[in-house]
Amino acid sequence: MSIELYPYQKDAINKMHNGCILNGAVGTGKSRTALAYVQKNEKGKDLYIITTAKKRDSKEWEEEAEPFSFSNLIIDSWNNIKKYQNIYGAMFIFDEQRVVGKGSWVKVFLKIAKKNHWILLSATPGDSYSDYIPVFIANGFFKNRTEFNTRHVIFKPYMNFPVIDRYVNEYELRSYQKQILVFMKSPRKIHKNYKKIMCLYDRVKYKQVYKDRWDIYDNCPIQETGKLCYLLRRIVCEDPDRINALKLLLYDHPKAIIFYNYTPELQILRSVAKEMNLDIGEWNGEVHSEVPISDRWVYLCQYTAASEGWNCITADTIIFYSLSYSYKAMTQAAGRIDRANSPFQELYYFYLQSSAPIDLAIAKALHEKKNFNERSFLGV
């Protein structure tokens, strides 16, 4: 079977090296590019691919690797990375960057990096220099996190926990970033249409839940921060105006992937699809059906279950019925239709949102490429 690569992928392979991060948007073909790099530069070594549990279970990597005929290929999830901390002299592909912070995965990654060749694949490698600390250490730029902080970080004074005020000697840090990042951008001329659809919400119910801390569904006090935010979001998402906005979108875009957060939203989405005689496919924690193949359908996807590890080239529309708390999940979800082999020249992304404080706060965090924090929002 022949292996076809786009010119931009070949260019990336020529720039890649041990210890680099292949940085490409979702859908640019990072997996195939990484495998081609290994075949060209690391042939004969055992190949280990550490990826998400979802990608491992879906056999996505096996499909990508089939044309390359690797003799010894092991694919596993980040949850099992400790199993490979004593491997020596092999090649590792770390998929979906998880080496941020200083947890157990980072410690094992550093052990593996000392004894093997490796590359990282990521669409979102890091938003700050601190996100790169493990990769900087693995490349030998710093001995440890303490050295990085001593040389480059000024912390805010009088804080109960370390908070970075600013970085110093940033020229050096930019130089390190430049050494490890290999950018891969598809030259496809595809136009992405982003539209925010503002919807009404029930201000009376919202105020009752927020001010009184009262569960209007189970008629009891609200004890937990997470439950309060969940109920506020439920009120917003159940509003008839948002449901009508969804129906209007589906009239114009009868093949659509719809992302949602909670089960009450799923029940609304199912009801709308049935009312409009649309075929239904689902991917959530309990159901994983295939994308429908009819002329009119919706594919209902829960963020946690379905924001990554699959793709669709038969639809040009994603509707975000509600926003995820996670910037990465939103980025990954948008990439489900943004693929290198998509036949569409136009892609459509619709974001349903209200002016409710919780919706505005989530949208603001995502716009700043941050995750939404419930406790910060509630001031607790």
Q: Give tens-digit pLDDT for 127-136.
A: 788 889 999 9
Where residue 265 falls (left for φ over 0; alpha for ψ -120 to 50; beta otherwise) is alpha
Residue in 119, 111, 55, 58 with CA at minimum distance from that of residue 84: 111
Tokens of 308: 């990554």
CB 96 within 8 A of CB 54: no
Cα distances from 85 to residues 76, 115, 134, 145, in angstroms, run 13, 9, 16, 20
> How many Cα neighbours within 13 Å face the side chain of 282?
13
**What is the model's pLDDT at position 24?**
86
**What is the model's pLDDT at position 185?**
80
Mean pLDDT of 288-302: 94
Residue 273 pLDDT greater than 50, yes or no: yes
What secondary structure letter does DSSP report for 126? -
**What is the model's pLDDT at position 1?**
45
Which tens digits make up the pLDDT trace of 32-51? 999 999 999 998 899 999 99
What secondary structure letter does DSSP report for 288? B
SS3 143: coil
Cα distances from 128 to residues 37, 110, 132, 145, 173, in angstroms, run 27, 20, 7, 14, 10
Return the percentage of the chain with pLDDT > 70, whole number: 99
Return the percentage of the chain with pLDDT > 90, whole number: 73
For helices 145-152 and 170-180, give the axis angle rounded to 10 degrees: 140
CB 194 within 8 A of CB 330: no
Least confident of 163-167, 169-173, 232-236, 242-246: 163-167
Residue in 97, 374, 99 with CA at minimum distance from that of residue 210: 374
Q: Where residue 246 falls among pLDDT bands split at 50, 70, 90?
A: very high
Q: Is the dihedral of CA 310, 314, 317, 321 positive or negative?
A: negative
How far is Cα 63 from Cα 192, in angstroms, rounded to an integer? 28
How far is Cα 290 from Cα 176, in angstroms, rounded to an integer? 43
Which tens digits make up the pLDDT trace of 339-368? 877 889 899 999 999 999 999 999 999 999
- The beta strand positions in 200-345, using DSSP E, are 214-215, 220-221, 255-260, 279-283, 297-302, 317-320
Mean pLDDT of 8-21: 95
How far is Cα 292 from Cα 301, in angstroms, rounded to an integer? 13
**What is the model's pLDDT at position 124?**
77
SS3 166: strand
How far is Cα 36 from Cα 184, in angstroms, rounded to an integer? 14
What average pLDDT does the structure give for the chain? Answer: 92
Residue 101 pLDDT greater than 80, yes or no: no
pLDDT winner (highest mean) among 69-73, 99-103, 139-143: 139-143
What secondary structure letter does DSSP report for 311? -
Mean pLDDT of 43-67: 89
**What is the model's pLDDT at position 380?**
66
Which phi and psi (to 5°) does residue 255 adopt? -125, 105
| Domains, the chain, ordered by start | 7-184 (3.40.50.10810), 191-378 (3.40.50.300)
Residue 86 pLDDT greater than 60, yes or no: yes
Residue 17 pLDDT greater than 70, yes or no: yes
Residue 245 pLDDT greater than 90, yes or no: yes
SS3 320: strand
| Helix-, strand-, coil-residue percentages of the chain, each rounded to 5 | 40, 20, 35
User: Any idea what the Cα angle at residue 63 is, between residues 124 and 260, rounded to 5°?
Assistant: 50
